[in-house]
Chain A
Amino acid sequence: MASILSFKDVSKRYHRGREEVAVLDHFSLEIAEKEFVAIMGPSGSGKTTLLNLIGGLDRPSTGQLTVAGERLDKMSGAELAHWRARHVGFVFQLYNLMPTISAETNVELPLLLTPLSRQERMRRVAAALELVGLLDRKKHKPGELSGGQQQRVAIARAIIADPTILVCDEPTGDLDRHSAEEILALLRILNQDHDKTIVMVTHDPKAAEFASRQLHIDKGQLFDASAPAAA
């Protein structure tokens, strides 16, 4: 399968006071299309930094980063924003839904950046909410939904614009076991039935088992990395 994501000798350094810390150090990784990859590692290992780079929320200090055929390391802030709108869907640990608007409007947000008509936007929103099993709760605000339901709304928002890649940062970290399994099952459906490429960061080995490939990262270094299967 073709490679959808490619890190080539990527480093990411932050300044903490006078000290410069390398969170990722000469990091290389390839992820194929339609893969469901789980990235595990201890706190401070660089998982979130890796996810931020994949999602275009940050740029590498050095190295080449190619996602969906585009060099993210060469993009400006505005270019990254446009790129994110087209290619990335985010799912966060704490859902990050807008609390004052309904589930339906939350899911609609990414489509406001497109030229779609309101009618078409609403049609797609309904389809996304139906896929996650929450069409009957579309008018509810996040505060009126359970944690699992909020995360499903967040997943609907993440997939509404048909992104190239889903980036999930501890998507089950704030959920009970039952809700977590529902979410992971949904992600597996999105990967297997809808061909979504998913990169998921998790602390939970049981969550990682839902993925087709598991990677470990520690101190900015990748362990158990394996090349994607040939197309």
Chain B
Amino acid sequence: MLIFLQVAVAFALFGVLQGLKTGVDHAISETRADLLLVFSSLSMGDPLPLATLDQIKTVPGVRVAVPVDLLGGTYQKPTQEVLMVAISPDKDWTSAFTYDIRPGYLAAFQESRTAALASEEIASKYGWKVGDRIPLETTTVQIDGSMVWTFDIVGFFHDSDIGGGTEKILIQYPYLDAARLTRKGTVNHINVAVQDPGMAVAVADEIDRRFANSANETRTQSLRELAQLNMQSIGDLNFLVRTIVAAVLVALLFATATMMMQSLRERTPELAVLKTLGFTDRAVFLLILTEATMVCTTAAIFGLALAMIAFPFASKFVPGLSMPPIVVGVGIALAVVVGLVSAAVPATRAAQIEIAAALAGR
């Protein structure tokens, strides 16, 4: 029972880690390949002049280009941070973003300069409804000297890009730029949707080439590239997962082998009796090996099943978390190996039991 439980827990961990890796890989692969983000080459936080937008729109392969500025603020308390994403709601602007917005909300957003669309997560968190006026405290000074920006909630949106953060609202860039005192005519970056995802790299290179050796050199990256960079910022996930899994399996091997040796010592008289009945040394060896392998395999299947049951809940934190069949297959194969290796020595000892001595309790 102890062996079963420890193997089950180990393989539940294996399943969750592999699922995490799969989920991350899935999230990156699902990232749109036709979206580019144009930043200043100095850093992602340095502003770009709005004037670069017109040049970018003339690059062959660019379908839509939308300027984006970012503003940080707090709602009611300093700890309740809200990110404001300021965009120009020009024609087809949504195609350059990963937002899902209902047409009614989209129309309402474009009708009012102080309109805001809240992400579903932040609206749920603060209980915002359509029609609410929300004041946000910022460090950006308005022309009238106030640092409190007030917006009207006109709808909600869902962002399918997991790297984009969830607690944000969309506001109108023209309103922001007109009302602020500083950084006028600048943006944080420009979102670009290309006509052909296969040409994304070429378009990105051309954009950067156009601004090379200018006062506003750019660095253009695809959304997918940025997602990969985000993942790499927490380290090599593949290496991390493999190292943890390897460490767990090695520890499991030793622990299982030790328990099996203990079990063998306790069962020596029973095995001796089997030999008196005519079971050969080879039969006893195979019996122990088969028993161990079946226990490990069954426990691994149980553990992997536990991991699969946990995924729907864990997906709320890491969307796309899943366990492809190959992971289940690898898990079961590893369980067989663990069973065979950990039982090798106990099985050999069992085969070597001297019947007379074992029955005499020596």
Residues of A within 8 A of B (CB): 48-49, 52, 55, 57-58, 77-78, 81-82, 84-86, 88, 90, 92, 96, 98, 109-110, 113, 157
28 contacts between A and B (CB under 8 A): A48-B356, A52-B355, A52-B356, A55-B276, A57-B276, A57-B356, A57-B359, A58-B356, A77-B280, A78-B282, A81-B278, A81-B279, A82-B278, A84-B276, A84-B277, A84-B278, A85-B277, A86-B278, A90-B276, A92-B273, A96-B273, A96-B359, A98-B270, A109-B277, A110-B278, A113-B278, A113-B279, A157-B277
- Is B275 in contact with chain A by the CB < 8 A criterion? yes
CB distance from A55 to the nearest CB of B (A): 7
CB distance from B290 to the nearest CB of A (A): 14
Contacts of B275 in A (CB 8 A): 81
Q: Chain B contact residues: over half helix, strand or loop, or mixed? A: helix
**Alpha-carbon distance between A98 and B274 when the two chains are bound, in angstroms:** 9
Q: Are A92 and B279 in contact (CB under 8 A)?
A: no
- Is B281 in contact with chain A by the CB < 8 A criterion? yes
CB distance from B349 to the nearest CB of A (A): 15
Please provide the chain B residues from 272 to 298 with a CB less than 8 Å away from any CB of chain A in the complex. 273-283
Contacts of A96 in B (CB 8 A): 269-270, 273, 359
Residues of B within 8 A of A (CB): 269-270, 273-283, 355-356, 359-360
CB distance from B346 to the nearest CB of A (A): 18
**Alpha-carbon distance between A85 and B360 when the two chains are bound, in angstroms:** 21
B269, B273, B281: the one contacting A81 at CB < 8 Å is B281
Q: Are B280 and A78 in contact (CB under 8 A)?
A: yes
Nearest-neighbor residue (CB-CB) of B281 within chain A = A77
Beyond A49-B356, A58-B356: 5 further Cβ-contacts under 8 Å? A48-B356, A57-B276, A57-B356, A90-B276, A113-B279
Q: With A48-B360, A58-B356, A92-B359 in contact, do A110 and B277 touch (Cβ < 8 Å)?
A: yes
Among B274, B275, B355, the one with the most A-chain Cβ atoms within 10 Å of its Cβ is: B355
8 tightest CB-CB pairs across the interface, nearest first? A85-B278, A81-B280, A96-B273, A57-B355, A52-B356, A84-B278, A110-B277, A90-B276
Contacts of B279 in A (CB 8 A): 81, 113
**Alpha-carbon distance between A82 and B276 when the two chains are bound, in angstroms:** 10
CB distance from A157 to the nearest CB of B (A): 8
CB distance from B282 to the nearest CB of A (A): 7
**Alpha-carbon distance between A121 and B195 when the two chains are bound, in angstroms:** 75
Nearest-neighbor residue (CB-CB) of A93 within chain B = B359
**Alpha-carbon distance between A200 and B355 when the two chains are bound, in angstroms:** 19
CB distance from A148 to the nearest CB of B (A): 19
CB distance from A17 to the nearest CB of B (A): 14
Among B280, B282, B360, the one with the most A-chain Cβ atoms within 10 Å of its Cβ is: B280
**Alpha-carbon distance between A77 and B285 when the two chains are bound, in angstroms:** 14
Contacts of B359 in A (CB 8 A): 57, 92, 96
**Alpha-carbon distance between A49 and B359 when the two chains are bound, in angstroms:** 12
Nearest-neighbor residue (CB-CB) of B358 within chain A = A57
Nearest-neighbor residue (CB-CB) of A97 within chain B = B273
Contacts of A86 in B (CB 8 A): 278
Q: With A78-B281, A81-B279, A81-B280 in contact, do A109 and B274 touch (Cβ < 8 Å)?
A: yes
**Alpha-carbon distance between A213 and B278 when the two chains are bound, in angstroms:** 28
Q: Are B273 and A98 in contact (CB under 8 A)?
A: yes
Contacts of B355 in A (CB 8 A): 52, 57-58
**Alpha-carbon distance between A96 and B275 when the two chains are bound, in angstroms:** 12
CB distance from B360 to the nearest CB of A (A): 7
